[in-house]
Structure 1
Amino acid sequence: MTGAPFTPGSTAVRRDIAYGRVWTAMPYTVLADDGATLTLTARPGTECRAPSSWTTSRRAGDVAARKRGIDDLAARHWELDHWVWRDTVVLSRFATGEPYSVHRFLTPEGRPLRWYVNFERPYRRTAIGIDTLDLFLDLVITPDLSAHTWKDEDEYAQARRLGLIDEATHRAVDAARDLALVQLRDRTGPFAPDPDAWTLPPAGPLPVLPPTALSAPAETR
């Protein structure tokens, strides 16, 4: 990392970047940043961008459209659509060098709903936030950490068939799966006891995507 950490209360944009183009872009509010671990939050009403295949699947409950989006990504042809984050508050933790991020979902009133481990490429800091790439596989965990289920394994398999996940990346994901499960079992890393883990962040202005968010990948921060 170069430059100063992001200031609490400022905006940081999480982007998925594929083939030099923006796949998703969502602004978050920074809660904390020590230069190694970045903690963000998003609330209902936050405007973001996502592939039209994904927004169609969300609006219509069309699973096939979501799978077509993976085909579009492999073909390097997609269109971005507007999307508004809704229903939940999310607290997100991104750690330098880790092949996944960890998210805690709450109701707008602060009731814990679930933990969510999103497997992705280790992030790269930019002038406006962080760039990564979602690797489709997810781990969903109950609020009390007592049970978990794997999500979107079929999408991960589809991405492997299409060459989006090469063998080296697959081995890295397998190692990351094992690490996440060990941390969950031992209550270490992001799952270590933390009295503030489910604290609802104070309300404030919703973050806004800067004009540069949909441009080519920004310079490293």
Structure 2
Amino acid sequence: MTAPAAPVFAPGGTAVRRDVARGRVWSATPCAVLADDGATLTLTVRPGTETLAPARWTAATRADDDAGRLGCIEDLATGRWELDHWTWRDTVVLSRFTAGAPFSVHRFLTPDGRPLRWYVNFERPYRRTAIGIDTLDLFLDLVITPDLSAYQWKDEDEYAHARRLGVVDEATHRWMDRARSLALAQLLDRLGPFAPDPAAWTVPPAGPLPTLPTATLSTPAEGG
């Protein structure tokens, strides 16, 4: 039997980015679709968007509690977590997800379009679903200045904790080393998402905020 074709999402529609682990949803964000050619999916999130996130993370973030954020990884390791509502705030995010890539690339801007930073989120290559894409954040991030001239690694403590708990095993760690090298090579050579392409990173006109569909918490066909 021929497998059904992966969905391609129409500009202006909604695609839900979910993090999935142990066959359960770890987080879910409804995004507005800017472009999709079947391989590269470009999305945006605006302030006021209602999302789902691990309850321990939302509590820790509201309290500015770094130890609590590390505790979220323990929940992921044990497979026991609850979800809470979280409202995205302060920034517009333009995101590019490329099939097979070990990271997604994001550009953070003020609501009026002033660039704040680039952000590389290391994660499992995405899998398309009927409502969007499923992946799994692997904690480590690369933060880059708006002009691409400097960068720094972020959340290395979370990544180290995930390694200690076995959330990131040795094979995944080696895979992440290659992903780091790839991201830096693309940045330094201005390739892929870092190639000059102003149209790809322009803030679109404001529209209705997307919402999470009823199928958001349906059991994923494959765990993250």
Which TM class, normalised by the smaller chain length?
over 0.9
- Which residue number corresponds to residue 76 of structure 2? 73
* Shift of residue 217, structure 1, vs aligned partner: 0.9
**8 Å contact kept, 2:126–2:134:** yes
- Which residue number corresponds to residue 161 of structure 2? 158
- Within the candidate set 93, 112, 115, 1:90 is matched to 93
- Within the candidate set 38, 43, 52, 1:40 is matched to 43
Alpha carbons of structure 1 residues 25 and 4: separation in structure 2 relative to 1, 3 Å: closer
- Which residue number corresponds to residue 124 of structure 1? 127
Write out aligned runs for 1:205-216 (5 A): 205-216=208-219
Structure 2 gap ranges (5+):
none
- Which residue number corresponds to residue 181 of structure 2? 178
TM-score (norm 2): 0.95
Question: Is 1:20 paired with 2:23?
Answer: yes
- Report which stretch shifted further, 57-66 or 23-32: 57-66
Q: Secondary structure at the match of 2:18?
A: strand
- Within the candidate set 56, 65, 85, 1:53 is matched to 56
**8 Å contact kept, 1:110–1:198:** no
**8 Å contact kept, 2:60–2:69:** yes
What's the CA shift string for 1:96-118, capped at 9, x where partnerless?
A: 00000000000001000000000
- Which residue number corresponds to residue 101 of structure 1? 104
* Shift of residue 198, structure 1, vs aligned partner: 3.7
Q: Secondary structure at the match of 1:196?
A: helix
- Which residue number corresponds to residue 8 of structure 1? 11
Provide the C-alpha distance between the structure 1 equivalents of 2:32 and 2:131, rounded to a whole number of angstroms.
12
Matched pairs, number: 219
**8 Å contact kept, 1:106–1:198:** no
- Which residue number corresponds to residue 200 of structure 1? 203
In the alignment, residue 29 of structure 1 is paired with which amino acid? A
In the alignment, residue 186 of structure 1 is paired with which amino acid? D
Alpha carbons of structure 1 residues 177 and 3: separation in structure 2 relative to 1, 3 Å: closer
* Shift of residue 197, structure 1, vs aligned partner: 4.3
What's the CA shift string for 1:126-151, capped at 9, x where partnerless?
A: 00000000000000000000000000
Q: Secondary structure at the match of 1:143?
A: coil
**8 Å contact kept, 2:7–2:129:** no
> Aligned residues: percent identity?
74
What's the CA shift string for 1:164-200, capped at 9, x where partnerless?
A: 1111111111001000001110000110011224411
TM-score (norm 1): 0.97
Report the aligned-residue RMSD.
Answer: 1.2
- Report which stretch shifted further, 36-45 or 195-204: 195-204
Q: Secondary structure at the match of 1:180?
A: helix
- Report which stretch shifted further, 164-173 or 17-26: 164-173
Provide the C-alpha distance between the structure 1 equivalents of 2:12 and 2:201, rounded to a whole number of angstroms.
18
